[in-house]
Amino acid sequence: MFNKLKLDDIRALERIAPTRVLTQAQINEDYFHDELGTAFGVPEALVKVLTTAEVSQVLKYAYEHDLPVVTRGSGTGLVGGAVATSGGIMIDTSLMKKVLDFDQSNLTVTVEAGMLLMELAAYCDQRGYQYCPDPGEKSATIGGNISTNAGGMRAVKYGVTRDAVRALTAVLPNGEIIKVGSKVVKNSSGYDLKDLIIGSEGTLAIVTQATLKIIPKPEYAISILVPFATMSQAISTVPKIIGAKVTPVAIEYMSCDTILFAEEYLGKKFPTHASDAYLLMTFDSNTQEAAISDMHTIADLCLEEGALDVLLIDTEERSASVWSARGAFLEAIKSSTDQMDECDVVVPRSAVADFILYTHEVARTVSMRIPSFGHAGDGNLHVYICRDKADDETWQDKKSKAFSMMYAKARELGGLVSGEHGIGLAKKEYLASTLGDTQIQLMKAIKRAFDPKGILNPGKVI
């Protein structure tokens, strides 16, 4: 159905993006997979774009010549979303990282899609503002964050990427450029194309610019680490925290084994090993008293619920050790095994403990290590199935069995397939079984509405 690229096509792309088209051996192997490497594909041409107009021209050409196109930011995805599994053209947005507008009156910043999350954070921070979403992978691009609707640690208080996007510039498969949304904060003007494009993993349009909400940076933040005797006790405290009229910025769950991986990976000690289960929470405010008062309210609540202790993370050193451990969990678990795959389910907050206990049962059933950690405050868990020394057949077999069990359980608990990593290639069958045929057919019809030739990131999501 798609054409393979011919020399004429390469020449045409070179006219659009002179000196920025790579082919064959010029393309680094890093571009053949993403962070987890569960999907593999070799693009026939890699185009390092600089402008929305270039993206438009590349798409117009691809559309006219039936060439598949996949978009890639930093390649930090975990589900194969940015892998060229159909060959074709890969558009690399990583050179598009300009700040186009910084608007203090309307509290927005407009950036190009290739800007890294850490670059945006630093840019805002230097000016006394905060871009609220805070996904763990700071070297992801904003475009990538938008494509999967990434969540991150501050979602409990500030919401996810979707909540921070006011407007997008995006290129449709036929090369037409649209601007959806605006700097406005309310909008009831026709169908919500903006939210449809957010989270569509580059299958409906290519996002090239985003206008993002920012807030004046809160003046004070304080974190506590709270050990509990058991996971169930820790997790069952979370809905009580959420209901306590204090909204922590973050409520993260971590288990002792995950902490040990992080210590080994980072070569740094964590402040405590006293217990098997921890909640890590942050409180922010514009007054120190308010942040501390909120912290005390929740510390007291945790102690009433049986917490073993409350450790104040009040020094630079302690804060660095705790948050760097939290930030390194994925890499630490990854380094503990030859290969791994992940399950990014989201369940109602009240069902998190049930789900984690079930992952232990799955681990016993398939005889594999399945460590997990997660955003307990919003029910989003990151669960890792470790291959360790299993041979290929065993690995595929057990992984498939474990995934099927876990996604079925999530569905039973009122949960969904992905909280923030998306569907890509790796989770397609689980999305289909969770949502059912009617919704999948509806999504396919929407895909055809945007992309009648199906050239954009073919085979992904649905």
Q: 262-301: which residues touch a second copy (CB under 8 A)?
A: 286-287, 290, 293
Q: How far is the CB of 34 from a second copy (least distance, A)?
A: 15
**Does position 245 bind a second copy by CB under 8 A?**
yes
- Distance in angstroms (rounded) separating the CA atoms of residues 330 and 342: 10
In degrees and rounded to multiples of 5, residue 9 shows phi and psi of -65, -45
Window of 113-121, 265-273, 317-325, 433-441 that interacts with a second copy by CB under 8 A: 433-441
Report the site for a second copy in 77-106 (rule: CB under 8 A). Answer: 103-106
Tokens 């630490």, residue located? 332
Q: How many CB atoms lie within 10 A of CB 27?
A: 18
Q: Which of 246, 357, 405, 408 binds a second copy (CB under 8 A)?
A: 246
Q: How far is the CB of 348 from a second copy (least distance, A)?
A: 4
Q: Which of 12, 58, 160, 224 binds a second copy (CB under 8 A)?
A: 160
**Does position 209 bind a second copy by CB under 8 A?**
no
Q: Please list the residues that pair with 212 across neighbouring strands.
A: 109, 165
**Does position 439 bind a second copy by CB under 8 A?**
yes
**Does position 125 bind a second copy by CB under 8 A?**
no
**Does position 304 bind a second copy by CB under 8 A?**
no
Among 455, 428, 388, 440, CA closest to 39: 428
Q: How far is the CB of 58 from a second copy (least distance, A)?
A: 18
Q: Which of 127, 183, 318, 453 binds a second copy (CB under 8 A)?
A: 183
Report the site for a second copy in 337-396 (rule: CB under 8 A). Answer: 344, 346-350, 375, 378-380
Distance (Å) of CA 241 to CA 151, 190, 381: 20, 38, 18
Q: Which of 75, 144, 419, 459 binds a second copy (CB under 8 A)?
A: 419
Residue type, position 147, single letter: S
Residue number, 161 or 275, with CB nearest to a second copy: 161
Number of residues that bind a second copy (CB under 8 A): 84
Window of 306-314, 356-364, 395-403, 408-416 that interacts with a second copy by CB under 8 A: 408-416
Window of 3-11, 54-62, 142-150, 263-271 that interacts with a second copy by CB under 8 A: 142-150
- Which residues are CB-neighbours of 305 under 8 A, at least 6 positions away? 233, 236, 237, 240
Q: How far is the CB of 21 from a second copy (least distance, A)?
A: 27
Window of 3-11, 109-117, 237-245, 389-397 that interacts with a second copy by CB under 8 A: 237-245
Window of 66-74, 134-142, 221-229, 412-420 that interacts with a second copy by CB under 8 A: 412-420
Residue number, 52 or 149, with CB nearest to a second copy: 149
Return the C-alpha torsion angle 193, 196, 202, 206, nearest 10. Answer: 10
**Does position 126 bind a second copy by CB under 8 A?**
no
Report the site for a second copy in 23-62 (rule: CB under 8 A). Answer: none
Window of 64-72, 84-92, 176-184, 331-339 that interacts with a second copy by CB under 8 A: 176-184
Q: How far is the CB of 168 from a second copy (least distance, A)?
A: 12
Window of 10-18, 86-94, 147-155, 272-280 that interacts with a second copy by CB under 8 A: 147-155
Site string for a second copy, 216-235 (x = CB under 8 A): x-xx----------------
Q: Which of 50, 53, 121, 244 binds a second copy (CB under 8 A)?
A: 244
Residue number, 15 or 448, with CB nearest to a second copy: 448
338: left (phi over 0), alpha (psi -120 to 50) or beta: alpha
Q: Which of 109, 172, 307, 311 binds a second copy (CB under 8 A)?
A: 172
**Does position 204 bind a second copy by CB under 8 A?**
yes
Residue number, 94 or 200, with CB nearest to a second copy: 200
Strands of the sheet with 45-48, listed across from one edge? 21-22, 45-48, 89-92, 69-72
